[in-house]
A and B are shown apart, each in its own frame.
Chain A
Amino acid sequence: MSFTIATTIDEAVAAMAAGARPIAGGTDLVVSARHGKLPLPEDLVAIDRLIELSEIRPGSGGCQIGALVTHARLMMDPLLVQSYTALADAAALVGSPSTRNIGTLGGNVMNASPAMDTGAPLLVLGASAELASPGAMRSVPLDELWTGPGSTSAAEGELLVGLNLPSPSGRSGSAYVRLEYRRAMEIAVVGAAAGVTLAEGGTLASVSLALSAVAPTILALDGTEALAGLSPADAAAKAAVLASEQAAPISDLRASDGYRRHCVGVMAKRAVDAACRRAAGESISVPVNRALGIGAV
């Protein structure tokens, strides 16, 4: 067993190449271990002090969010709240203040839970993951990263260093909503993210949709091009149909498959509605769940 604290990315990937697992806030890793679900890895490399992974870097083509940016920061960052709002909506719903202060975006992405809140927003915002290994770096679109519950296409030893998000174009807006039974320390029963761009005249130029907790991975919806040209209200109604059709949920103690299939349609409709309102210039505060009274009271 070993525990090291990495001070550079190179040290972190070298430790990982030697078999260590990275730990940042530990909100998944340590909780799972104490549950007895998964033992703590034998060898750990702490990456939480890699300041270069804790930054949000705006660029000409978009922005890069470091893997160690916390949920608390995501929900408050002015650039994200303005231009990548669905991600801020999602971050604001994660856990409690303590979870949000210590849990990181990179941890949420690599934990690869199909119920993760930040995943559907990242998909509709067109994010890609930057993965580092000794002497190499590669970029993977997020829809190719998640391969199943808790599994990714990242190789053993690859470290997620950040997420790249392209600049939103034109009159665009995004939103993430989820069904929840309580307002804190909750996991999405189902969730939906929408990213929209409005055309002249207020019809939709483009829509992208992704769903949480209704498939083995975060699910990007097919067929959203059929929503282009529709009014926001018609697009929201059609989004509900697409979401319920394509969802492949399981039944568990939190909800039956049928209930999830129905409710994810409702969430998709509300996500499209909120995203369109934001694209049209309306200010709906983060998170949409609280602003519009969706979910637990």
Chain B
Amino acid sequence: MSESFDLEVNGISYSVTIDQGKNLLSVIREDVGLTGTKEGCDDCECGACMVLLDGQPVNSCSFLAVQAQGRTVTTIEGVMQGDEMHALQRNLLDAGGVQCGFCTPGMIMSAHALLDRNANPTPEDVKIGLSGNLCRCTGYAKILAAVEKTAAE
């Protein structure tokens, strides 16, 4: 059965009519039309689909979109500050923490949530903060360095 409701993504309210079993990831990509959030494993393992729900990281592949009504969703598109890249984006590029780029949006959302609640993370805090995100290219060192640099700025 379809559900109609308003879904707030990046500060904009979208009217959506969706099947109640549809996951938040598919609604963001197909109904809202923002494709920066990626589908990797579709099994809550890889973190490519990470978005923020009321500021907290959530694997959107495994979260029902109907449960997001009345809450605020932030995706990678909401991280840009106008035309300016967020410091996490700039530092990931500068550090070489982006190769194929598929994991990058999810990495940034997890790092964003980490830095929001812990402005001075230890290297171990950063590792734990990103522990739900897999990268198959970089070997992680440059991603961790970029997040640590952002925290130090």
- Residues of A in contact with B (beta carbons under 8 Å apart): 1-3, 5, 23, 25-27, 30-31, 33-35, 40, 44, 46, 48, 95-99, 101-102, 183-185
Contacts and interface: CB of A to CB of B under 8 A. Distances in A.
22 contacts: A2-B1, A3-B64, A23-B64, A26-B63, A27-B62, A30-B62, A34-B23, A44-B64, A46-B67, A95-B44, A96-B47, A96-B133, A97-B57, A98-B56, A99-B44, A99-B59, A101-B58, A102-B58, A102-B63, A184-B132, A185-B44, A185-B45
Nearest to A100: B132
A183 B128 CA distance: 9
Contacts of B20: 1-3, 44
Interface-centre pick from A27, A30, A35, A48 (highest chain B CB count, 10 A): A30
Contacts of B56: 98, 101-102
Contacts, number: 80
Nearest to B50: A98
B66 interface: yes
Interface residues of B, number: 31
Q: Give the interface SS of chain A, mostly helix, strand, loop or mixed.
A: mixed
B43 A98 contact: no
A26 B64 contact: yes
Given A34-B43, A95-B44, A99-B132, 11 more contacts: A26-B67, A30-B62, A30-B63, A35-B43, A95-B132, A96-B131, A96-B132, A97-B110, A97-B131, A97-B132, A101-B56
B141 to A, nearest CB: 16
Given A98-B58, A102-B56, A184 B63 contact: no
Given A27-B44, A30-B23, A97-B110, A3 B66 contact: yes
A98 B64 CA distance: 15
B1 A98 contact: no
Interface in B50-95: 50, 53, 56-59, 61-64, 66-67, 69
Interface of B: 1, 3, 20-21, 23, 42-45, 47, 50, 53, 56-59, 61-64, 66-67, 69, 110, 113-114, 128-129, 131-133
Contacts of A95: 44, 132
A101 B67 contact: no
Contacts of B47: 96, 98
A26 B62 contact: yes
Nearest to A41: B21
Interface-centre pick from B20, B23, B42, B131 (highest chain A CB count, 10 A): B131
A25 B44 CA distance: 12
A1 B1 contact: yes
